[in-house]
Amino acid sequence: QVQLVESGGGLVQPGGSLRLSCAASIRIASIYVMAWYRQAPGKQRELVASITNGGRTNYADSVKGRFTISRDNAKNTVYLQMNSLKPEDTAVFYCNAHPPLPSWGQGTQVTVSS
């Protein structure tokens, strides 16, 4: 069974930065697109950013210019650098393939508040 372990979340003030990491129990080099998703309270999970094996990235309009996704296939790890954080970024962040695999990790909580 695939295991995805997200980390790096926390409480940060508006305008602050966080770097999320996602360690996978499988060779992510075999997955063409890896992605970060988030789920805010009372809302559906949404796609935030994705990256292909070739490094092509795509971002939700709400995070463009602020978030950067990257992947290290040798370490089976995906990252999300988040800058200029806003209160509306508060959510639980998850990584998965895109389209997602059936297994989801527990996610990492990001709270943006003063």
32-87: per-residue pLDDT in tens? 999 999 999 999 999 999 999 999 999 999 999 999 999 999 999 999 999 999 99
3-state SS assignment for residue 16: coil
Compute the CA torsion angle 48, 105, 51, 87 (nearest 10 deg): 30
Mean pLDDT, residues 10-20 = 98
Contact 8, 18 (CB under 8 A): yes
Pairing type for strands 18-24 and 10-12 reads unpaired
